[in-house]
Amino acid sequence: MKENLALYLLAMILLSTAGFAKKKDSTVPTLRWEQGASGCSLDPAASDNLDRYTITQDGLVVTLGVDPRELTQSQRRAGHVMSVFLSVSNKGASPLGVQQSKASLEFVNHSQWRFSSWDPDNLANHIQNQTDDLMHQTDKDLEKRPERVEKNEDRLREHQKLVSEMLDFLSTKGLKDVVLDSATPEVSGWIFFPSRGKWVGDWKKTEEFVFRIPIGSWLVEFPFQLPPASHPQLKERQ
Which secondary structure element, helix H or strand E, spans residue 84, and what is its range? Answer: strand 82-90
At residue 182, what is the residue type?
S
pLDDT of residue 20: 44
Nearest alpha carbon to residue 224 among 7, 52, 79: 52
pLDDT of residue 118: 87
pLDDT of residue 226: 86
Per-residue pLDDT of the chain (238 residues; tens, 9 = 90+): 555 555 555 555 554 444 444 444 557 899 999 999 999 999 987 778 899 999 999 999 999 999 988 877 766 554 467 889 999 999 999 999 999 999 999 988 766 678 899 888 887 787 777 777 777 766 666 666 665 555 666 777 777 787 788 788 788 899 999 999 999 999 999 998 876 655 455 666 778 999 999 999 999 999 999 888 765 444 433 3
Q: How many CB atoms lie within 10 A of CB 17?
A: 16
Domain boundaries, the chain: 2-119+170-225
Q: What is the DSSP letter of 103?
A: -
Distance of CA 81 to the CA centre of its chain: 7
